Amino acid sequence: MKKWMSKNHKIGILMTVALTFVVVCLGVRLARNDPDEAETYHLIFIPKTIDPANGFWTALIDGAKLGAEEMGAEIEVMGAGAEEDVEEQIEIIRQSMEKEPDALLVAPGDYSEVSDVLQEVVDAGIPLILLDSVIDRDIAVSEIGTDNYRAGKELGEYAATLIDGEGEIGIVSHVKGSSTAMERSNGICDGMGEASHQIRSIVYCNSSYEKAYELTKDMLNRYPQISLLVATNEYGAIGAARAVNDLGLAGKVKMVGFDSSVEEIQLLEMGVFQAIIIQKPVNMGYLGVEQAIHVLNGKKAEPKLDSGSKLITKENLYEDENQRLLYPFSGQ
């Protein structure tokens, strides 16, 4: 009898263990299928550059990180040392594919040169979201950025009022071949209307403060009739403004530009800039992550989203809404 009880006891223990195992496995499976149980997705964001000195890119990265944190995703940022280094960005995109991310967010450095490698991303089954700039192929599930043509046109319309049909105009653009440079320049020229015929010189600074500075000094020395400068991104705007200051031409040569670094805002307050078009990079980064998560959760992404822009002058600089746009993380 004792032997029989021992055997049954062992059978009971084995049945209990087996039942426990089934329950645990079933619980895990149910948890995986539970729509309320959020999966942690691994995203990679590749901006044109990682430059701590650049307010636009740091804010865009912060926006993407904020979106990932709020949506329970992990995000890794990989970027080139300079915006103009398209070859480095292409290599970084290839490196990112080896990590097999759930989705890839990219700010392409060129309109056509990065298209082939981004096609490889899509062909590998990795959802692609484009931020800030676009390419010559319609392969991304979503494109989020400033409406650069519209923003450029608004800036051009304002700039035309500063010269009143007199004087010449110089444009300090950023990277030749990038979609943002092309769209903004087209918008600026259309916004200026007849005044666009007064454009005397267009230079490309390759998103370098130093190069923008040197090119602007050279331009103003060669064409002393220039009375208005238009810059198409933060690097061009800051470099050109420093040159204008050093040449003693602040206020004499009117200036308008894109972006809103701390230095740009200070130069606007000082009267070196008459206006700046500020983008909304925090929105851009946040919306990019949001669209990636939508796709990964089986929802439909928005094919195109305008993250917004705003013309800021000395007259509206201190309005509460504009202060919040200029200092999004200040707690104002």
| Residue indicated by tokens 């259309």 | 190
Tens-place pLDDT, residues 11-51: 444 444 443 433 334 343 333 344 444 579 999 999 999 99
Tell me whether the CATH fold assigned to 42-146+281-301 matches the one assigned to 148-279: yes
Report DSSP state, residue 257: E
Alpha-carbon distance of 171 to 256, in angstroms, equals 10
pLDDT given for residue 188 in this prediction: 98
| Domains in the chain: boundaries | 42-146+281-301, 148-279
What CATH architecture does domain 148-279 belong to? 3-Layer(aba) Sandwich (3.40)
- Residue 43 and residue 50 in contact, taking contact as beta carbons nearer than 8 Å: no
Residue ranges, the chain, pLDDT below 50 = 1-37, 332
pLDDT given for residue 38 in this prediction: 58
User: Hey, how many other C-beta atoms are within 10 angstroms of the C-beta on 125?
Assistant: 7
Alpha-carbon distance of 68 to 297, in angstroms, equals 14
pLDDT given for residue 24 in this prediction: 38
Buried b vs exposed e over 159-180: b needs ≥16 C-beta within 10 Å? bbebbeeebebbbbbbbeebbb
Full-model pTM: 0.83
Q: C-alpha distances in angstroms, 72 versus 76, 182, 227, 260, 282?
A: 13, 36, 51, 30, 18
CATH superfamily of this structure's domain 42-146+281-301: Response regulator (3.40.50.2300)
